[in-house]
Protein backbone atom coordinates (compact mmCIF):
# COMPACT_ATOMS: atom_id res chain seq x y z
CA UNK A 1 0.00 0.00 0.00
CA UNK A 2 1.21 3.50 -0.79
CA UNK A 3 0.77 5.04 2.66
CA UNK A 4 2.14 8.39 1.56
CA UNK A 5 -0.47 8.83 -1.15
CA UNK A 6 -3.27 7.74 1.17
CA UNK A 7 -2.22 10.09 3.99
CA UNK A 8 -1.73 13.04 1.63
CA UNK A 9 -5.27 12.50 0.34
CA UNK A 10 -6.67 12.42 3.87
CA UNK A 11 -4.78 15.60 4.77
CA UNK A 12 -5.94 17.41 1.64
CA UNK A 13 -9.58 16.46 2.27
CA UNK A 14 -9.19 17.27 6.00
CA UNK A 15 -10.32 13.77 6.91
CA UNK A 16 -7.05 13.10 8.73
CA UNK A 17 -7.43 12.97 12.51
CA UNK A 18 -4.80 15.09 14.28
CA UNK A 19 -3.53 14.05 17.71
CA UNK A 20 -1.75 16.58 19.94
CA UNK A 21 0.29 15.29 22.88
CA UNK A 22 0.64 17.99 25.54
CA UNK A 23 -2.12 20.56 26.03
CA UNK A 24 -0.16 23.46 27.45
CA UNK A 25 0.86 26.83 26.04
CA UNK A 26 2.00 25.20 22.77
CA UNK A 27 -0.24 22.18 22.31
CA UNK A 28 -3.62 23.72 23.13
CA UNK A 29 -3.47 26.64 20.66
CA UNK A 30 -2.09 24.27 18.02
CA UNK A 31 -4.97 21.86 18.60
CA UNK A 32 -7.53 24.64 18.32
CA UNK A 33 -5.89 25.97 15.16
CA UNK A 34 -6.23 22.61 13.39
CA UNK A 35 -9.81 22.22 14.67
CA UNK A 36 -10.68 25.67 13.36
CA UNK A 37 -9.34 24.67 9.95
CA UNK A 38 -11.76 21.73 9.84
CA UNK A 39 -9.72 18.82 11.21
CA UNK A 40 -10.89 16.45 13.91
CA UNK A 41 -8.41 16.88 16.79
CA UNK A 42 -7.81 14.65 19.80
CA UNK A 43 -5.73 16.24 22.56
CA UNK A 44 -3.71 14.06 24.96
CA UNK A 45 -2.30 15.05 28.35
CA UNK A 46 -0.98 13.17 31.38
CA UNK A 47 -2.55 15.80 33.67
CA UNK A 48 -5.98 14.28 34.21
CA UNK A 49 -7.23 17.50 35.83
CA UNK A 50 -7.11 19.27 32.46
CA UNK A 51 -9.44 16.84 30.69
CA UNK A 52 -12.77 17.68 32.40
CA UNK A 53 -11.98 21.41 32.15
CA UNK A 54 -11.46 21.19 28.40
CA UNK A 55 -14.40 18.82 27.94
CA UNK A 56 -16.64 21.52 29.41
CA UNK A 57 -15.22 24.02 26.93
CA UNK A 58 -13.28 25.97 29.54
CA UNK A 59 -9.77 27.39 29.35
CA UNK A 60 -6.98 27.35 31.93
CA UNK A 61 -4.74 29.70 29.90
CA UNK A 62 -5.54 33.41 30.09
CA UNK A 63 -4.94 34.40 26.47
CA UNK A 64 -7.01 31.47 25.12
CA UNK A 65 -10.70 32.32 25.62
CA UNK A 66 -13.06 29.58 26.79
CA UNK A 67 -15.43 30.45 23.93
CA UNK A 68 -12.80 29.30 21.44
CA UNK A 69 -12.56 25.87 23.08
CA UNK A 70 -16.29 25.54 23.72
CA UNK A 71 -17.13 26.11 20.06
CA UNK A 72 -14.77 23.39 18.82
CA UNK A 73 -16.00 20.96 21.48
CA UNK A 74 -19.63 21.68 20.54
CA UNK A 75 -19.00 20.95 16.87
CA UNK A 76 -17.11 17.76 17.77
CA UNK A 77 -13.86 18.99 16.26
CA UNK A 78 -11.87 18.93 19.51
CA UNK A 79 -11.80 16.55 22.44
CA UNK A 80 -9.31 15.92 25.22
CA UNK A 81 -8.29 12.63 26.83
CA UNK A 82 -5.63 10.97 28.97
CA UNK A 83 -6.23 7.63 27.23
CA UNK A 84 -3.16 7.28 25.02
CA UNK A 85 -4.49 4.10 23.40
CA UNK A 86 -6.58 6.43 21.25
CA UNK A 87 -3.39 7.46 19.45
CA UNK A 88 -4.05 4.58 17.10
CA UNK A 89 -7.08 6.49 15.74
CA UNK A 90 -4.91 9.50 14.83
CA UNK A 91 -3.40 9.90 11.38
CA UNK A 92 -1.01 12.69 12.41
CA UNK A 93 0.52 12.94 15.89
CA UNK A 94 2.21 16.16 17.07
CA UNK A 95 4.28 16.04 20.26
CA UNK A 96 4.28 19.31 22.24
CA UNK A 97 5.68 18.45 25.66
CA UNK A 98 8.11 20.31 27.98
CA UNK A 99 11.87 19.96 27.63
CA UNK A 100 13.23 21.44 30.89
CA UNK A 101 16.69 21.32 32.43
CA UNK A 102 17.66 19.15 35.37
CA UNK A 103 19.43 20.46 38.48
CA UNK A 104 22.78 20.30 36.66
CA UNK A 105 21.50 22.43 33.76
CA UNK A 106 21.48 19.40 31.49
CA UNK A 107 18.60 18.47 29.14
CA UNK A 108 15.71 16.60 30.71
CA UNK A 109 14.02 14.95 27.75
CA UNK A 110 12.02 12.48 29.82
CA UNK A 111 8.73 14.02 28.62
CA UNK A 112 9.78 13.52 25.00
CA UNK A 113 10.97 9.97 25.68
CA UNK A 114 7.77 9.00 27.50
CA UNK A 115 5.62 10.51 24.75
CA UNK A 116 7.65 8.69 22.09
CA UNK A 117 7.24 5.38 23.94
CA UNK A 118 3.48 5.93 24.10
CA UNK A 119 3.39 6.67 20.36
CA UNK A 120 5.54 3.62 19.61
CA UNK A 121 3.16 1.40 21.56
CA UNK A 122 0.19 2.41 19.43
CA UNK A 123 1.96 3.27 16.17
CA UNK A 124 0.29 1.86 13.08
CA UNK A 125 1.34 1.98 9.42
CA UNK A 126 0.70 5.23 7.61
CA UNK A 127 0.93 7.63 10.55
CA UNK A 128 2.85 10.91 10.65
CA UNK A 129 4.65 11.82 13.88
CA UNK A 130 6.10 15.31 14.39
CA UNK A 131 8.12 16.48 17.39
CA UNK A 132 7.57 20.17 18.19
CA UNK A 133 9.33 20.42 21.55
CA UNK A 134 12.49 22.55 21.66
CA UNK A 135 15.48 20.26 21.94
CA UNK A 136 19.07 19.62 20.90
CA UNK A 137 20.02 18.73 17.29
CA UNK A 138 19.63 15.02 16.70
CA UNK A 139 16.80 14.28 19.15
CA UNK A 140 14.26 13.27 16.49
CA UNK A 141 16.56 10.79 14.77
CA UNK A 142 18.44 9.57 17.85
CA UNK A 143 15.51 9.03 20.22
CA UNK A 144 12.22 8.83 18.31
CA UNK A 145 13.37 7.08 15.14
CA UNK A 146 14.97 4.01 16.83
CA UNK A 147 11.85 3.51 18.98
CA UNK A 148 9.57 3.54 15.95
CA UNK A 149 11.94 1.46 13.84
CA UNK A 150 11.79 -1.30 16.45
CA UNK A 151 8.17 -1.71 15.42
CA UNK A 152 8.37 -0.80 11.73
CA UNK A 153 11.74 -1.20 10.02
CA UNK A 154 12.81 0.47 7.88
CA UNK A 155 11.55 4.01 7.45
CA UNK A 156 12.68 5.10 4.03
CA UNK A 157 11.76 6.10 0.52
CA UNK A 158 8.88 4.51 -1.33
CA UNK A 159 10.06 1.40 -3.12
CA UNK A 160 8.42 -0.57 -5.85
CA UNK A 161 5.66 -2.65 -4.32
CA UNK A 162 5.99 -1.07 -0.86
CA UNK A 163 5.49 2.31 0.73
CA UNK A 164 7.01 4.13 3.64
CA UNK A 165 5.42 2.65 6.75
CA UNK A 166 5.44 5.82 8.86
CA UNK A 167 6.59 9.42 8.57
CA UNK A 168 8.71 11.33 11.06
CA UNK A 169 9.54 15.05 11.19
CA UNK A 170 10.53 17.93 13.44
CA UNK A 171 8.87 21.34 13.44
CA UNK A 172 9.80 23.71 16.27
CA UNK A 173 7.03 25.52 18.09
CA UNK A 174 7.16 29.31 17.89
CA UNK A 175 4.43 30.30 20.31
CA UNK A 176 4.55 33.73 21.92
CA UNK A 177 1.82 33.84 24.58
CA UNK A 178 -0.07 37.13 24.63
CA UNK A 179 1.32 38.38 21.31
CA UNK A 180 -1.58 40.21 19.64
CA UNK A 181 0.20 40.61 16.30
CA UNK A 182 1.06 36.95 15.65
CA UNK A 183 -0.70 33.69 16.49
CA UNK A 184 -0.22 29.99 15.76
CA UNK A 185 -1.60 30.20 12.23
CA UNK A 186 0.33 33.32 11.17
CA UNK A 187 3.79 32.50 12.53
CA UNK A 188 5.89 30.85 9.74
CA UNK A 189 6.48 27.14 10.39
CA UNK A 190 9.90 25.55 9.87
CA UNK A 191 9.66 21.84 9.03
CA UNK A 192 12.37 19.20 8.64
CA UNK A 193 11.81 15.54 7.79
CA UNK A 194 13.84 12.37 8.30
CA UNK A 195 13.35 11.64 4.59
CA UNK A 196 12.01 13.67 1.63
CA UNK A 197 8.72 11.76 1.92
CA UNK A 198 8.48 12.62 5.60
CA UNK A 199 9.07 16.28 4.79
CA UNK A 200 6.44 16.24 2.07
CA UNK A 201 3.77 14.75 4.31
CA UNK A 202 4.55 16.98 7.31
CA UNK A 203 4.62 20.10 5.12
CA UNK A 204 1.29 19.12 3.58
CA UNK A 205 -0.28 18.90 7.04
CA UNK A 206 1.01 22.25 8.26
CA UNK A 207 0.11 23.92 4.97
CA UNK A 208 -3.53 23.22 5.83
CA UNK A 209 -3.36 25.26 9.05
CA UNK A 210 -0.34 27.59 8.89
CA UNK A 211 -0.05 30.56 6.57
CA UNK A 212 3.58 29.91 5.59
CA UNK A 213 5.54 26.64 5.82
CA UNK A 214 9.33 26.70 5.44
CA UNK A 215 10.78 23.27 4.56
CA UNK A 216 14.43 22.61 5.43
CA UNK A 217 16.74 19.76 4.48
CA UNK A 218 16.73 17.80 7.75
CA UNK A 219 15.34 17.50 11.24
CA UNK A 220 18.70 18.65 12.61
CA UNK A 221 18.48 21.91 10.67
CA UNK A 222 14.98 22.53 12.04
CA UNK A 223 16.08 21.64 15.58
CA UNK A 224 19.09 23.95 15.29
CA UNK A 225 17.05 26.83 13.87
CA UNK A 226 14.93 26.96 17.03
CA UNK A 227 18.04 26.98 19.20
CA UNK A 228 19.59 29.79 17.16
CA UNK A 229 16.46 31.92 17.47
CA UNK A 230 16.52 31.73 21.25
CA UNK A 231 20.30 31.78 21.74
CA UNK A 232 20.35 35.01 19.70
CA UNK A 233 17.93 36.57 22.17
CA UNK A 234 19.65 35.08 25.21
CA UNK A 235 23.06 36.46 24.22
CA UNK A 236 21.76 39.94 23.46
CA UNK A 237 19.69 40.11 26.64
CA UNK A 238 22.76 38.96 28.61
CA UNK A 239 24.71 41.81 27.00
CA UNK A 240 22.28 44.50 28.15
CA UNK A 241 21.92 42.85 31.55
CA UNK A 242 25.68 43.05 32.02
CA UNK A 243 25.74 46.61 30.75
CA UNK A 244 22.99 47.48 33.24
CA UNK A 245 25.29 46.45 36.09
CA UNK A 246 28.30 48.27 34.63
CA UNK A 247 26.41 51.48 33.83
CA UNK A 248 24.72 51.46 37.24
CA UNK A 249 28.15 51.59 38.89
CA UNK A 250 28.97 54.54 36.62
CA UNK A 251 25.75 56.36 37.44
CA UNK A 252 24.43 55.87 33.88
CA UNK A 253 20.86 54.83 33.08
CA UNK A 254 21.06 51.80 30.76
CA UNK A 255 17.51 52.37 29.46
CA UNK A 256 18.42 55.89 28.38
CA UNK A 257 21.51 54.50 26.66
CA UNK A 258 19.41 51.95 24.76
CA UNK A 259 16.92 54.61 23.67
CA UNK A 260 19.79 56.69 22.29
CA UNK A 261 21.44 53.73 20.54
CA UNK A 262 18.26 52.56 18.82
CA UNK A 263 17.94 55.84 16.93
CA UNK A 264 20.58 54.40 14.59
CA UNK A 265 18.54 53.24 11.55
CA UNK A 266 20.80 50.27 10.75
CA UNK A 267 23.04 47.72 12.47
CA UNK A 268 21.34 47.87 15.88
CA UNK A 269 18.36 46.10 17.43
CA UNK A 270 17.19 47.09 20.88
CA UNK A 271 17.10 44.48 23.65
CA UNK A 272 16.14 45.35 27.20
CA UNK A 273 17.42 44.20 30.61
CA UNK A 274 15.25 42.69 33.33
CA UNK A 275 15.30 40.64 36.54
CA UNK A 276 16.26 37.49 34.62
CA UNK A 277 15.00 35.37 31.75
CA UNK A 278 11.64 33.62 31.68
CA UNK A 279 9.55 31.45 29.41
CA UNK A 280 10.21 27.88 28.38
CA UNK A 281 12.71 28.54 25.59
CA UNK A 282 15.17 31.41 26.07
CA UNK A 283 16.50 30.39 29.52
CA UNK A 284 16.74 26.72 28.49
CA UNK A 285 17.64 26.34 24.80
CA UNK A 286 21.24 27.63 25.06
CA UNK A 287 22.07 24.88 27.55
CA UNK A 288 20.63 22.23 25.21
CA UNK A 289 23.12 23.21 22.53
CA UNK A 290 26.00 23.54 24.99
CA UNK A 291 25.31 20.05 26.32
CA UNK A 292 25.15 18.52 22.85
CA UNK A 293 28.27 20.39 21.70
CA UNK A 294 30.33 18.65 24.41
CA UNK A 295 29.56 15.34 22.69
CA UNK A 296 31.58 16.68 19.74
CA UNK A 297 34.38 18.05 21.92
CA UNK A 298 33.34 21.66 21.41
CA UNK A 299 33.04 24.30 24.14
CA UNK A 300 30.36 26.96 23.69
CA UNK A 301 31.97 29.57 25.94
CA UNK A 302 30.06 32.54 24.57
CA UNK A 303 26.65 30.85 24.92
CA UNK A 304 27.42 29.51 28.39
CA UNK A 305 28.61 32.92 29.58
CA UNK A 306 25.37 34.50 28.41
CA UNK A 307 23.39 31.85 30.25
CA UNK A 308 25.40 32.45 33.42
CA UNK A 309 24.86 36.22 33.28
CA UNK A 310 21.11 35.85 32.81
CA UNK A 311 20.69 33.30 35.60
CA UNK A 312 22.56 35.65 37.97
CA UNK A 313 20.18 38.59 37.42
CA UNK A 314 17.74 37.71 40.24
CA UNK A 315 20.72 37.75 42.63
CA UNK A 316 21.67 41.21 41.34
CA UNK A 317 18.13 42.48 41.95
CA UNK A 318 18.15 41.09 45.50
CA UNK A 319 21.56 42.65 46.18
CA UNK A 320 20.27 46.00 44.93
CA UNK A 321 17.24 45.58 47.21
CA UNK A 322 19.52 44.91 50.20
CA UNK A 323 21.56 48.04 49.42
CA UNK A 324 18.45 50.22 49.16
CA UNK A 325 17.09 48.85 52.44
CA UNK A 326 20.43 49.46 54.14
CA UNK A 327 20.45 53.05 52.89
CA UNK A 328 17.07 53.43 54.60
CA UNK A 329 18.17 51.82 57.90
CA UNK A 330 16.46 48.50 57.26
CA UNK A 331 17.83 44.97 56.92
CA UNK A 332 16.63 42.30 54.53
CA UNK A 333 16.22 39.87 57.44
CA UNK A 334 12.70 40.52 58.67
CA UNK A 335 11.85 43.03 55.95
CA UNK A 336 8.40 42.88 54.39
CA UNK A 337 8.82 42.61 50.62
CA UNK A 338 6.13 42.65 47.94
CA UNK A 339 6.80 41.22 44.47
CA UNK A 340 4.68 42.81 41.75
CA UNK A 341 4.06 40.44 38.85
CA UNK A 342 4.88 36.73 39.02
CA UNK A 343 4.51 35.66 35.35
CA UNK A 344 7.59 35.73 33.14
CA UNK A 345 6.33 38.61 30.99
CA UNK A 346 3.56 41.16 31.16
CA UNK A 347 -0.15 40.63 30.59
CA UNK A 348 -0.07 36.80 30.62
CA UNK A 349 -0.39 34.04 33.23
CA UNK A 350 2.62 31.97 32.14
CA UNK A 351 4.93 31.07 35.03
CA UNK A 352 7.45 28.96 33.13
CA UNK A 353 10.98 29.79 34.32
CA UNK A 354 9.78 33.13 35.68
CA UNK A 355 12.62 35.02 37.42
CA UNK A 356 10.09 36.26 39.99
CA UNK A 357 9.98 32.76 41.47
CA UNK A 358 13.73 32.82 41.99
CA UNK A 359 13.47 36.29 43.54
CA UNK A 360 11.01 34.97 46.10
CA UNK A 361 13.22 31.99 46.90
CA UNK A 362 16.35 34.11 47.42
CA UNK A 363 14.52 36.73 49.49
CA UNK A 364 13.00 34.08 51.74
CA UNK A 365 16.40 32.45 52.22
CA UNK A 366 17.68 35.82 53.45
CA UNK A 367 14.90 36.09 56.01
CA UNK A 368 12.49 38.42 54.24
CA UNK A 369 8.73 38.10 54.59
CA UNK A 370 7.57 37.93 50.97
CA UNK A 371 4.17 38.42 49.37
CA UNK A 372 3.29 38.75 45.72
CA UNK A 373 0.52 40.35 43.71
CA UNK A 374 -0.42 39.33 40.19
CA UNK A 375 -3.94 39.74 38.76
CA UNK A 376 -3.29 36.90 36.29
CA UNK A 377 -1.91 34.33 38.76
CA UNK A 378 -4.13 34.04 41.82
CA UNK A 379 -2.27 31.13 43.38
CA UNK A 380 1.14 29.55 42.81
CA UNK A 381 0.79 25.90 41.78
CA UNK A 382 3.34 23.25 42.64
CA UNK A 383 6.00 23.27 39.94
CA UNK A 384 9.04 21.17 39.10
CA UNK A 385 11.43 23.55 40.90
CA UNK A 386 9.15 25.42 43.28
CA UNK A 387 6.41 24.71 45.80
CA UNK A 388 5.95 28.13 47.36
CA UNK A 389 2.34 27.74 48.57
CA UNK A 390 1.49 31.42 48.08
CA UNK A 391 -1.59 33.35 46.96
CA UNK A 392 -1.72 36.74 45.29
CA UNK A 393 -2.68 39.64 47.53
CA UNK A 394 -5.05 42.39 46.46
CA UNK A 395 -3.31 45.74 46.09
CA UNK A 396 -4.86 48.55 48.10
CA UNK A 397 -3.68 52.02 49.19
CA UNK A 398 -4.09 50.95 52.82
CA UNK A 399 -1.98 47.77 52.50
CA UNK A 400 0.92 49.03 50.35
CA UNK A 401 2.56 51.18 53.09
CA UNK A 402 2.97 48.06 55.25
CA UNK A 403 5.76 46.80 52.98
CA UNK A 404 9.32 47.96 53.50
CA UNK A 405 10.04 47.64 49.79
CA UNK A 406 8.21 46.65 46.62
CA UNK A 407 9.95 44.94 43.67
CA UNK A 408 8.35 45.30 40.25
CA UNK A 409 9.32 42.07 38.51
CA UNK A 410 6.67 41.96 35.76
CA UNK A 411 5.27 45.18 34.32
CA UNK A 412 1.61 44.29 33.79
CA UNK A 413 -0.33 47.11 32.17
CA UNK A 414 -3.16 46.59 34.65
CA UNK A 415 -1.09 47.84 37.59
CA UNK A 416 -1.94 51.35 38.81
CA UNK A 417 1.54 52.84 38.72
CA UNK A 418 0.45 56.21 40.11
CA UNK A 419 -1.22 54.52 43.09
CA UNK A 420 1.90 52.42 43.67
CA UNK A 421 4.13 55.51 43.64
CA UNK A 422 1.87 57.35 46.03
CA UNK A 423 1.56 54.55 48.59
CA UNK A 424 4.77 52.49 48.52
CA UNK A 425 7.74 53.39 50.72
CA UNK A 426 10.39 52.15 48.28
CA UNK A 427 10.14 50.62 44.80
CA UNK A 428 12.71 48.56 42.90
CA UNK A 429 11.83 48.83 39.20
CA UNK A 430 13.45 46.06 37.14
CA UNK A 431 11.62 46.99 33.90
CA UNK A 432 11.88 50.79 33.71
CA UNK A 433 8.08 50.66 33.80
CA UNK A 434 7.46 53.73 35.95
CA UNK A 435 9.54 56.05 33.78
CA UNK A 436 7.84 54.70 30.66
CA UNK A 437 4.57 55.76 32.32
CA UNK A 438 6.01 59.24 32.84
CA UNK A 439 6.41 58.72 36.60
CA UNK A 440 9.56 59.85 38.42
CA UNK A 441 10.17 59.74 42.15
CA UNK A 442 13.11 59.46 44.52
CA UNK A 443 11.49 56.38 46.04
CA UNK A 444 11.80 54.51 42.69
CA UNK A 445 15.17 52.82 42.13
CA UNK A 446 15.98 51.00 38.90
CA UNK A 447 17.64 47.59 39.05
Domains 3-217 and 232-446 share a fold: yes
pLDDT of 157 reads 47
Tell me 124's DSSP state.
-
The partner residues of 391 in beta bridges, in order of sequence, read 379
What are the residues whose beta carbons fall under 8 Å from the beta carbon of 115, sequence distance 6 or more?
21, 22, 95, 97
- The pLDDT assigned to 427 comes to 98
Please tell me the predicted confidence (pLDDT) of residue 242: 97
Predicted local distance difference test score (pLDDT) of residue 282 = 80
Range 53-62 contact pairs with CB under 8 angstroms and sequence separation of 24 or more = 54/23, 54/28, 54/78, 54/79, 54/80, 55/79, 55/80, 61/24, 61/25, 61/28, 61/177, 61/349, 61/350, 62/178, 62/348, 62/349, 62/376
Q: Of 3.40.50.720, 3.40.50.300, 3.30.70.20, 3.40.1830.10, which CATH number belongs to 232-446?
A: 3.40.50.720
Which parts of the chain register pLDDT below 70?
A: 152-164
- Of the CATH numbers 3.40.30.10, 3.30.1050.10, 3.40.50.720, 1.50.10.20, which one belongs to the domain with range 3-217? 3.40.50.720
Q: What is residue 281's predicted lDDT score, i.e. its pLDDT?
A: 77
**pLDDT tens digits, one per residue of 256-289:** 999 999 999 999 999 999 999 887 778 888 888 9
Judge whether 129 and 148 are in contact, CB under 8 Å: yes
pLDDT of residue 175: 87
pLDDT of residue 162: 38
The domain spans of the chain are 3-217, 232-446
Catalytic residue among 92, 96, 281, 424: 281
96 is catalytic: no
Cis before residue 154, ω within 30 degrees of 0? Answer: yes
Amino acid sequence: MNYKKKLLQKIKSKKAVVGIIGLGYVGLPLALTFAEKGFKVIGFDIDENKIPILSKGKSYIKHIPSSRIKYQVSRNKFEATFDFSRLTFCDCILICVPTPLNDNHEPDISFVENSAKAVAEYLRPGQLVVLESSTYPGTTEEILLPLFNEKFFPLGEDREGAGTLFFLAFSPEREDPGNKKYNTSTIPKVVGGVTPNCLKVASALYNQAIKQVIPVLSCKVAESAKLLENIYRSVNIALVNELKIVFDKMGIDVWEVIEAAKTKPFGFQAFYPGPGLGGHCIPIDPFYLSWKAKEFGVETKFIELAGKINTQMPYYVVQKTIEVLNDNRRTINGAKVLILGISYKKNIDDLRESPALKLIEILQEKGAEVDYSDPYVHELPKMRKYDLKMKSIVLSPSKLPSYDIVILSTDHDIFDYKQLTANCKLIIDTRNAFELKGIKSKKIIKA
